[in-house]
Chains A and B, each alone.
Chain A
Amino acid sequence: MTNLDIWTYSVVGFTFALYIGIAIWARAGTTGEFYVAGKGVHPVANGMATAADWMSAASFISMAGLIAFEGYGASVFLMGWTGGYVLLALLLAPYLRKFGKFTVPEFIGDRYYSQTARIVAVICLILASITYVIGQMKGIGVAFSRFLETSYEMGLYIGMGIVAIYAVLGGMKGITYTQIAQYVVLIMAYTIPAIFISLALTGIPLPQIGLGGNYAPGDGTMTLLGKLDQVVTDLGFREYTTAVMGSTLNMFVYTLSLMIGTAGLPHVIIRFFTVPKVKDARYSAGWALVFIALLYTTAPAVGAMARLNLIDTIQIGPVGAEDGNLLYEERPEWFKKWETTGLLQWEDKNEDGRIQYYDDTNPEFAEKAQSFGWEGNEMVTVDRDIMVLANPEIAGLPNWVIALVVAGGLAAALSTAAGLLLAISSAISHDLLKGVFLPGISEKNELRAGRISMIFAIILAGYLGLNPPGFAAGTVAIAFGLAASSIFPALMMGIFMKKMNNAGAIAGMLSGITVTLLYVFQHKGIFFVPGTDFLMPELGMGEDWFFGISPNAFGAVGALVNFVVAFIVAAVTAPPPDHIQHLVEDVRVPRGAGETTGH
C-alpha cells in the first residue's frame, strides 16, 4: 500500500464511520421524524443540509470542468443553480412550510382538490428523482474504483450499504444530520486545493479574489484572466471570458430553465418542511445559498486555473516553436495515471513525439497549424470530469489533500442520493399508499412502509447504477425539464393565484410536460431509443430548431406553456370551491404554522 492509499482509506473510512455514528444517534421514531425530521431543525443547520443535499457529484466533480472548457458560457450553470434559491425563498418555501404537510404532491393534491393532480405530481417527482439518483450512484462507483482500487460494482455496493443504514434508520432526521457532516467534508475538500492553487498562480489565497488577480509566474503585470484569454486564443480556442454557449438567447433561456427547475425540484423543497417556523424557512433558504455560494464562487477559479495549468503543462514554449510542445516521454506522473483510466488520451498524429493540444475545429487556425507541421489535436480525450479530481495532483499538493478530495466527492454523491431517495420513498409511502390506496393505515405501519419503500428505492437506484441505461447522460434534461415545466408552475400558481382551479392546473402540468418531453425526445430519440431522433427531416426541424434553444434549456419554454394553458383553462371552467380559496388565504399568512404540525 502506498502512502496515498493509506491516507485515502483512513480519510474515507473515518468519514463513513462518522455518518453511521450520526445515523444511530438520530433514529426516527415517528412518521414526522421520518419525513420532515420532526420539523425541529435549526434554520442554519437546515441551510447546511440543503447545501449538501443540493450539491451533487455533478456540482462537486463536473461543474469546474465544464467551466474550464466552456469559459463564460458555463455561467448559465453558476447563475441557474444559485438564482433558483431566490425563487424558492421568495415564491415557494415560506408558503409551503406554512401549509405544514410532508410532501410536494400532497400540497398539489390538496390545493387542487384532486387525486389526479397528486398522482401527476408523484410521477414527475419519481421520474425526476430517479434520473438524478443514477448519476450519484455512478459517481460513487467511479470514485471508489479510481481511488480505492476496488471494482466499480464493489464501490457501488459499499455506497448503497452506507446510504441504506442511515436513510432507512433515520429517515429525514438521520439524513439531515449526516448531510451537515457531509457538507463540512465536501466544502473542505473543495476549497483547500483551490486555495493552494490560487496562491501558486496569483499569490492571493482567496480563489474568488485570485481569479481577478495578476498572473504571478510571469512578470506579474498580466491579469490571470488576460493570460488565460491569450493562451487559449493562441491555440485557436475561443476566448475564455467571452465564449457564449449557443447564443445569447440560448444562454438566457438555459439560465431561466435551471433556475425554475432548481426551485421546482422536490428533494430540495421538502428540506424547507423541516424547520419550525415560516420565518425559519425564509432565512434557511438564505443560509442554504451561503453554503452553496462558498463552492459556487470558488468553482470559476478552479475551472480557469485548471485550464491554465493544463495548457501550461503541454504548451511549454511559444506556439509553433519547434520545442514549444511537451515531449510525450516527459509527461508528468498525473498524466500517466489518468491515461490508464482512459479519461485522458493522446495520439501522435504528426509523429513528432510531442503533444499538440489546440482547437482543430477552428477553420481560421487550420492554416497556422499546418505551417507548424501539426496534423490535428493530439489530446483526443480530455474528460471534463477529471479536472477537480486531478487538480491537487496537477498542482503537486500533498497526499492528504488528494485523500480529502476523494472523501469530498463521495460526500457530495452520498448526501444528494440520500435526499433523493427520501423524496422518492415519501412519495410512495405517504402520497400513493396513505394518500390514495390505504387512507386508514396506522402511523406505525406507514413508518414501516416508508422504510420498506426506501429499501426498494435504494435497490432500484443501485440496479440502475450497475446497469446505467445508455440514455443516462441525456436524462439530466428530463429532471430539470420536468421540475421546471410541471412542478414549479403548479406550486407557484397554487399560492399566487387564488382562482386557479383543478382543471387549469392539471391541463397546465400535462401540456408543460408534453411540450418539454417532445422537444427532448425529438433531439435525443423517443424514450431515448437510438435512431428515433429527428424522425421527420422534411419539417425542417433540425438541431435546436426552436430559436436555437438546446433541449437542456427547454424547461422554461415548457413552463411558459404550462402557465398559458392553465390560465386559459381556468378562465373557462368553474373557480375553486370556497374552502380551497380559504386554504390559499391561510397559506399566505405566517401565523399558525406550528398548529398544523400535528398530522
Chain B
Amino acid sequence: MTPEKRAAYWKANVRLLVILLFIWFIVSYGLGILLVEPLNTIHLGGYPLGFWFAQQGSIYAFLVLIFVYAGAMNRLDKKFDVDE
C-alpha cells in the first residue's frame, strides 16, 4: 500500500468520524440537554420532545450511528482494498 493511499484512507475514515460524532453530540448534548426546554414545548405522543431525546431518542440514535459507521467502514475498506 502506498503512503498516499494510506493517507487517503485515513482521511476518509476521520471525515466519517467527524460527521458521525457531530450527530452524536447533537442528539445527546444538544437536543437532550442544551435545547431541552424549548423542545419540551413540542410533544411526541405523551412525551415532551426534549425529555424523549434525553431518555429514549438519543439511545436509538447511538444505535443507528454505530451500524452506519460499521457499514460505511466496510465499504471504505473494500474501496481501498484493505479489508480482511
Residues of A within 8 A of B (CB): 67, 72, 75, 78-79, 82-83, 85-86, 89-91, 94, 208-209, 211-214, 223-226, 241-242, 248, 251-252, 255-256, 277-279, 282-283, 285-286, 289-290, 293, 296-297, 300, 496, 585, 588-594
Q: Chain B, interface size: which category?
A: 35 or more
Interchain nearest-CB distance for B32 vs A (Å): 6
Interchain nearest-CB distance for A548 vs B (Å): 14
Chain A residues contacting B56 (CB-CB under 8 Å) are 208, 211, 297, 300
Chain B residues contacting A75 (CB-CB under 8 Å) are 32-33, 51, 54-55
Chain A residues contacting B6 (CB-CB under 8 Å) are 585, 588-589
B24, B37, B44: which contacts A212 (Cβ < 8 A)?
B44
Give Cα distance in the complex from A297 to B45, angstroms.
16
The answer on a CB contact under 8 Å between A289 and B9 is no
Give Cα distance in the complex from A277 to B82, angstroms.
13
Interchain nearest-CB distance for A148 vs B (Å): 34
Give Cα distance in the complex from A83 to B13, angstroms.
20
Task: Let me know if B42 is at the binding interface, CB within 8 A.
Answer: no
Chain B residues contacting A85 (CB-CB under 8 Å) are 62, 66
What is the total of A-B residue contacts with beta carbons within 8 Å?
140
Q: Given A90-B20, A90-B21 in contact, is the A212-B55 Cβ separation under 8 Å?
A: no
The answer on a CB contact under 8 Å between A590 and B84 is yes
The answer on a CB contact under 8 Å between A241 and B59 is no
The answer on a CB contact under 8 Å between A225 and B65 is no
Most A CB within 10 A of own CB, among B20, B28, B58, B69 = B28
Q: Given A78-B54, A78-B55, A224-B46 in contact, is the A279-B83 Cβ separation under 8 Å?
A: yes
Most B CB within 10 A of own CB, among A94, A224, A283 = A283
- Could you jot down 15 A-B contacts, CB within 8 Å? A72-B51, A75-B51, A78-B55, A79-B32, A79-B58, A89-B69, A90-B66, A91-B17, A279-B84, A285-B70, A289-B63, A289-B66, A293-B62, A496-B14, A585-B6
Q: Of residues 1 to 36 in B, which have CB atoms within 8 Å of A's CB atoms?
A: 1, 6, 9-10, 13-14, 17, 20-21, 24, 28-29, 32-34, 36
* Nearest chain B residue, comparing its CB with the CB of A209: B45
Give Cα distance in the complex from A209 to B37, angstroms.
22
The answer on a CB contact under 8 Å between A252 and B29 is yes
B34, B47, B62, B84: which contacts A591 (Cβ < 8 A)?
B84
